Amino acid sequence: MKKHQRGRCLQAIVQNHVAKKLLLLALMAIPLCTFAGGGIAAGLDGAAGEVKGIFSNTSNLILAIGGIVGLIGGIRVYIKWNNGDQDVQKELIGWAGACIFLLMSGVVIKTFFDM
C-alpha cells in the first residue's frame, strides 16, 4: 500500500470513529431529553399556575381598591355638594374617572390572564 493510500485509510477510520462517538452521544441524550421534557413541562405548568394565582389576587386587590376609591370619592363629592362649592362637577369627574379606571384595570387583568 502506498503512503498516500494509507493516509486516506487512516483518515477514514478516524472519521468513522468520530461518527460512531457522536452517534453514541446522541443516542444517550435521547432518554435524558425525554426525562427532562417531563420535568420542564411540569415546571412550566407550575409557573403558569403561580402567575395566574398572583394576577388573580392582584386583580381582586385592584377591584377592592377601586371600590374604596369610589366610596371616598362619593363622600367627598357629597360634602362639596352640600357645602355649595362651585367645582363639584370637576371633583365628580375626577373621582369617577379614577374609580372606573381601577375597576376596568381589574377586569382587564382577569380577562387577559383568563382566570
pLDDT, position 27: 65
**How confident is the model over 16-35, as pLDDT tens digits?**
666 777 666 676 666 655 55
Range(s) of the domain holding residue 54: 3-112
**How confident is the model over 43-91, as pLDDT tens digits?**
777 777 777 777 778 878 888 888 888 888 888 888 988 988 888 888 8
Contact 67, 93 (CB under 8 A): no
**How confident is the model over 1-11, as pLDDT tens digits?**
555 555 565 55
Q: Give the pTM.
A: 0.51
Angle at 39 between CA 37 and CA 45, to 5 degrees: 100
The residue with greater pLDDT, 111 or 19, is 111
CA dist 93 and 90 (Å) reads: 5
**21, containing H or E segment:** helix 3-83
Angle at 58 between CA 54 and CA 62, to 5 degrees: 175
Torsion of CA 85, 87, 90, 95, to 10 degrees: -30
Overall domain count for the chain: 1
